[in-house]
Amino acid sequence: MVKINVGFCVIILNISYIVILAADCGALVAPVSGTVVYTVSTYGSIAGYQCNQCYQCNTGYDMVGNGPRDCLSNATWSGQPPVCQIKGI
């Protein structure tokens, strides 16, 4: 709030600014022998975005891990990427 005295009048200005800073987490990195499969959208790497099934392993590999990944306000992805292991190991 800004208060300005002008002669006998007092002018009070109530000025508000809203600034939104979006955290861009960047693209997810594919695991070795796998790919990233989430759909990239305008908000795909902006804070608040969640990817539930983000990865896929190549044929002949099993995925170990693949929890949801969230784009956090500090511009990092939560959790860890999965590992693609050769089947039968």
Which pLDDT value is given to residue 5?
45
Which pLDDT value is given to residue 31?
94
Q: Is residue 44 within 8 Å of 37, Cβ to Cβ? A: no
Structural domains in the chain? Answer: 22-89 (2.10.70.10)
Which pLDDT value is given to residue 52?
79
Q: For the chain (length 89 residues), average pLDDT per consecutive 10?
A: 50 59 80 83 61 90 89 87 91
Q: C-alpha distances in angstroms, 23 versus 20, 41, 67?
A: 10, 15, 21
Please state the pTM of the whole predicted model. 0.62
Which pLDDT value is given to residue 58?
97
Q: C-alpha distances in angstroms, 53 versus 17, 18, 31, 71?
A: 38, 34, 13, 14
CA atoms 30, 35, 38, 44: torsion sign: positive
